Amino acid sequence: MLLEAATESVAESVAARADEISFAPSGALAAHAAVLGTIRGNARGVRPRFTHSAVEHSSILHAGEFAAVESVSVGVDRFARVDADAFVSAARGAAAAALQAGNHEVGTRQPVARVAEALGDVPLIVDVSQAIGHEAPPEGWSVLTADARVWGAGPGAGVLAVRTGTRWSPPFPADDRGRLPGAPDLPAIVAAAASLRAARASAAQDALRMRRQIDRIRAAVALIDDVDVLGDPVDRFPHIATFSCLYVDGEAVLTALDREGFAVSSGSSCTSSTLEPSHVLVAMGALTSGNVRVSVHPGTTDADVEKFLAVLPGVVADVRAELGASGL
């Protein structure tokens, strides 16, 4: 009964039917299943094709690599947005296409509805992780994926939704439990559904406040010397601000801000596993060092924002001085 209630609740939040919803142990596994299952269900010819934007979440890109298909990456502009016509042209005849609702690093929304309308029978996979707790998911998706951690739930639950009529074939050995193998993590699923319902209930009010706070951060950060504010200034999610600071190391800035009581992230830092810079920033043509990603949440106050903006210029200056760049 708890699982059925949680499923119906999540289905309502993403404008799906309950029988279209499945839960995975993580958002990454949900994304993998979305890509692999859609390609498997729609493969035609000797070498199927998978089309995606250059700024998809790494879990989407890794799944495409694992599938051993022809992978076509569609570039983006300086805001991290694809051109809808270019994407549709590249996706024609593909086994599957993937276009996120909006970018997880800089917050720029993607033209999902326009792309979906023009794609015809090519199934479109849409990652709504960054959107779902703040606004309705875009229309037109064939397969939807999300990570419950992003909207405030704990770990242990990812969402996979397969629209009725979409060809999707399980990429795992047969399991009588449904699309995804293994027993569901009921506590994580119930927590995910409850937290999503709570986020959706206050989304409109929270979005107005968070957008105001992010606008304030973007405007203030732009006044710091040699700092580039990234992402679309208008058509973006309300809760993300990302900027690159010249002459600093992103991890050094994060560490210094942590000492001041602020937990932020860096899209520019080399990951421990690949030692490569952010593929999103590379695709945008943005500076890939000194990058800072700030996200606000329902508990963030205006006072928190002002305190952050008060310490940030000094933190950047100190890090530059430590690296011998203060005179540049």
In a domain, 158, yes or no: yes
In this prediction, residue 178 carries a pLDDT of 77
Contact 95, 43 (CB under 8 A): yes
Residue-wise DSSP of 295-308? E--TT--HHHHHHH
Residues 41 and 66 in one domain: yes
Q: Which of 157, 172, 201 is the last residue of a domain?
A: 201
Stretch 300-308: mean pLDDT, rounded? 97
Please tell me the predicted confidence (pLDDT) of residue 186: 95
Instruction: Calculate mean pLDDT across residues 234-263.
Output: 93
Rounded Cα distance, 148 and 13, in Å: 12
The last residue of one of the domains, among 174, 201, 228, is 201
- Reported residue count of the chain is 328
Q: What is the mean pLDDT of residues 281-302?
A: 92
Same domain, 228 and 296: yes
114-151 per-position pLDDT tens digit: 999 999 999 999 999 999 999 999 999 999 999 999 99
Is residue 246 in some structural domain? yes
Under DSSP, is residue 164 helix (H, G, I), strand (E, B) or coil?
Answer: coil
The domain boundary residue, chosen from 162, 179, 201: 201
The answer to whether residue 327 sits within a structural domain is no
Q: Write the single-letter amino acid at 105.
A: E
* Same-domain check for residues 22 and 37: yes
Residue 213 has pLDDT above 90, yes or no: yes
- Asked if 119 and 207 sit in the same domain, the reply is no
The answer as to whether 106 is a domain residue is: yes
| CATH code at position 153 | 3.40.640.10
Co-location of 173 and 312 in the same domain: no
Residues 174 and 96 in one domain: yes
For residues 40 and 171, membership in a common domain is answered with yes
Residue range 152-167: mean pLDDT, rounded = 94
Two tokens, residue 216:
């304030």
* Higher-confidence position of 152 and 16: 16
pLDDT band at 267 (very low <50, low <70, confident <90, very high): low
Whether residues 235 and 183 share a domain: the answer is no
CA atoms of 125 and 113, how far apart (whole Å): 12
Q: Using the predicted structure, report yes or no on whether residue 176 has a pLDDT greater than 80.
A: no
* Residue 160 identity: L
Let me know if residue 52 belongs to a domain: yes
Residue 35 has pLDDT above 50, yes or no: yes
In a domain, 268, yes or no: yes
State which H helix or E strand residue 221 sits in: helix 203-221
Written in H, E and C, the secondary structure of 24-86 is: ECCHHHHHHHHHHHHHHHHCCCCCCEEEEECCCCHHHHHHHHHCCCEEEEECCCCCCCCCHHH
Q: Is residue 269's pLDDT more than 70?
A: no
Domain count, the chain: 2
Same structural domain for residues 125 and 260?
A: no
In-domain check, residue 176: yes
Contacts of 301 (CB under 8 A, 6+ apart): none
With a pLDDT cut of 70, the percent of the chain lying above it is 95
Assigned domain for 317 exists:
yes
pLDDT of residue 122: 96
What is each CA distance from 43 to 68, 95, 125, 169, in whole angstroms?
12, 5, 15, 10
pLDDT value, residue 328 = 47
Residues 31 and 78 in one domain: yes
pLDDT digits (tens, 9 = 90+) for 41-77: 998 766 799 999 999 999 999 999 999 899 999 999 9
Indicate if the pLDDT at residue 290 is higher than 90.
no
DSSP assignment of 78-139, as one string?
Answer: TTS---HHHHHHHHTT-SEEE--SB-TTT-BB--HHHHHHHHTTS-EEEE-TTTTTTSPPPT
Closest by Cα among 308, 306, 327, 318 to 253: 318
Say yes or no: 234 and 106 in one domain. Answer: no
The sign one gets for the Cα dihedral 26, 53, 34, 2 is: positive
Burial class (CB in 10 A: 0-12, 13-18, 19+), 310: exposed
Query: Region 260-271: what's the mean pLDDT?
Result: 74
- Region 214-221: mean pLDDT is 98
Which CATH number characterizes residue 228's domain? Answer: 3.90.1150.10
pTM for the structure as a whole: 0.93
To the nearest whole percent, how much of the chain has pLDDT over 90? 83
Q: Please, what is the average pLDDT of the chain?
A: 92
pLDDT per position as a tens digit, 2-34: 999 999 999 999 999 999 999 999 999 999 999
Same domain for 29 and 64, yes or no, is yes
Q: At 21, give phi and psi (nearest 5°).
A: -95, 135
Domain extent for 258: 203-322
